[in-house]
């Protein structure tokens, strides 16, 4: 374990994994509170106002931890991947700067107004403050996801002097995977925030504490969570999967266990990946369904990993089983 590249990867993975717990919760909670605070305001519902007060404090906590862990993550681009940061700096700079403006200024100002302005400012303005928090969090996520997507499907740049230089801002922003990834991630964030709220509410009901608040919160959370979960599958999940199949065929083949190029490829419901020879053992599959889902044709050819250089093939078991 003295390989600095491996150690850097492990450290970055732990930091990124910890950080990403909080942004989806914050985004999902923010949009839930937009709904809850609006209903409380328009219906003059005191129970829903208490729901907003309780979960607003939790939103403040998750936002703070997300910001702090995000700063550490951005620093690690420079400390762990200095050469890479120099290579992509011209492209990443405007994107990360835009995210910082929205995250630190728009969200922070209006989150403070939301948390401290209850019963001190007009209710309409108070509701508008949480709406701006949700919008700011969503825009911040958009720019981060654009940066992530550009790394996977890069467009709008040129390699000049060993560095990637931005040539077309809109091509960078609207690269082939940015919109599918953004909408799929937003659906996941709303689902995460909903089930987070539902889990806390269920715990309160189990303990017999604030039953009126918990019961109202869990009913809203489960309803919104169901809709968001369905949106994760279709249309956003289907859209994103088709994008990966068309623009990142090697990644798609590794995820789906498509080791050989095949017409009428099956969709594996279960299987154990084996490496010698590469195959899916103990497989349970639906014939031709992968070709239909990825390309809209039962007999479409799905590229396999046999079309790519062995040194470029990622770890198969981890990707397939996850």
State the pLDDT confidence band at 279, using cuts at 50, 70 and 90: confident
Query: Looking at residue 223, what is its pLDDT?
Result: 98
Residue 275 has pLDDT above 80, yes or no: no
* Of 243, 261, 293, the domain-final residue: 243
| pTM for the full predicted model | 0.94
* 91 and 137 assigned to the same domain: yes
Task: Evaluate if residue 108 carries a pLDDT over 70.
Answer: yes
> Do 125 and 62 reside in the same domain of the chain?
yes
Has residue 220 got a pLDDT over 60? yes
> Residue 1: what pLDDT?
57
pLDDT in tens, 127-174: 999 999 999 999 999 999 999 999 999 999 999 999 999 999 999 999
pLDDT in tens, 12-40: 999 999 999 999 999 999 999 999 999 99
Residues 155 and 229 in one domain: yes
Check whether residue 129 and residue 176 sit in a common domain. yes
Q: Are 301 and 175 in a shared domain?
A: no
What percent of the chain clears pLDDT 90, i.e. is strictly above it? 85
Domain extent for 260: 249-321
Which two tokens mark 60? Answer: 């403040």
- Indicate if 90 and 36 belong to the same structural domain: yes
- Let me know whether 206 and 76 are in one domain: yes
Question: Do both 163 and 276 map to the same domain?
Answer: no
What per-residue string of b and e applies to 224-237 under the rule 16 or more CB within 10 Å gives b?
A: bbeebeebbeeebb
Taking all residues of the chain, what is their mean pLDDT, rounded to a whole number?
Answer: 94
Residue 53 has pLDDT above 70, yes or no: yes
Distance CA 165, CA 160 (A): 7
pLDDT of residue 262: 94
Domain boundary among 213, 243, 273: 243
**Of the candidates 98, 73, 45, 48, the residue with the CA atom closest to the CA atom of residue 213:** 48
pLDDT beyond 60 at 109 = yes
Q: Are residues 221 and 253 in the same domain?
A: no
**Same domain flag for 204 and 77:** yes
User: Number of folded domains in the chain?
Assistant: 2
Which contacts (CB < 8 Å, 24+ apart) does range 87-93 have?
87/162, 87/163, 87/164, 88/151, 88/164, 89/163, 90/157, 90/163, 90/164, 90/165, 90/166, 91/147, 91/150, 91/157, 91/164, 91/165, 91/166, 91/172, 92/147
Residue 219 dihedral angles phi and psi, to the nearest 5°: -65, -45
Beta-strand relationship, 157-160 and 163-166: antiparallel
Q: Which residue, of 243, 278, 295, is where some domain finishes?
A: 243
Same domain, 52 and 23: yes
Q: Measure the CA–CA gap between 55 and 200, rounded to whole angstroms.
A: 10
Same domain for 195 and 286, yes or no, is: no
């Amino acid at each position: 374990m003295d390989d600095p590249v491996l150690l850097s990867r492990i450290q970055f993975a732990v930091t990124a994994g910890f950080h990403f717990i909080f942004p989806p919760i914050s985004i999902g909670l923010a949009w839930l509170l937009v709904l809850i605070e609006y209903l409380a305001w328009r219906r003059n519902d005191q129970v829903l106002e208490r729901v907003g007060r309780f979960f607003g404090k939790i939103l403040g906590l998750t936002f703070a931890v997300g910001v702090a862990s995000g700063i550490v993550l951005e620093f690690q681009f420079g400390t762990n991947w200095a050469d890479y940061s120099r290579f992509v700096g011209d492209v990443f700079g405007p994107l990360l700067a835009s995210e910082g403006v929205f995250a630190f200024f728009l969200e922070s100002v209006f989150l403070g107004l939301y948390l401290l302005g209850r019963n001190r400012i007009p209710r309409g303005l108070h509701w508008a403050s949480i709406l701006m928090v949700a919008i700011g969090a969503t825009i911040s996520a958009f720019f981060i996801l654009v940066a992530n997507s550009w790394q996977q499907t890069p467009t709008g740049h040129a390699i000049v002097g060993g560095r990637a230089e931005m040539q077309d801002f809109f091509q960078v922003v609207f690269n082939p995977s940015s919109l599918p990834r953004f909408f799929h991630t937003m659906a996941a964030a709303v689902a995460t925030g909903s089930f987070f709220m539902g889990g806390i509410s269920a715990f309160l009901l189990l303990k017999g504490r604030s039953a009126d608040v918990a019961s109202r919160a869990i009913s809203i959370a489960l309803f919104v969570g169901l809709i968001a979960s369905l949106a994760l599958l279709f249309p956003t999940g289907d859209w994103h999967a088709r994008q990966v199949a068309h623009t990142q065929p090697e990644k798609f083949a590794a995820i789906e266990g498509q080791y050989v190029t095949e017409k009428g490829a099956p969709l594996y419901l279960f299987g154990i990946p084996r490496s010698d020879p590469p195959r899916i053992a103990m497989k349970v599959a639906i014939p031709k369904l992968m070709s239909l889902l990825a390309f809209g044709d039962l007999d479409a050819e799905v590229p396999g990993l046999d079309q790519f250089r062995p040194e470029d093939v990622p770890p198969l078991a981890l990707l397939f089983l996850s």
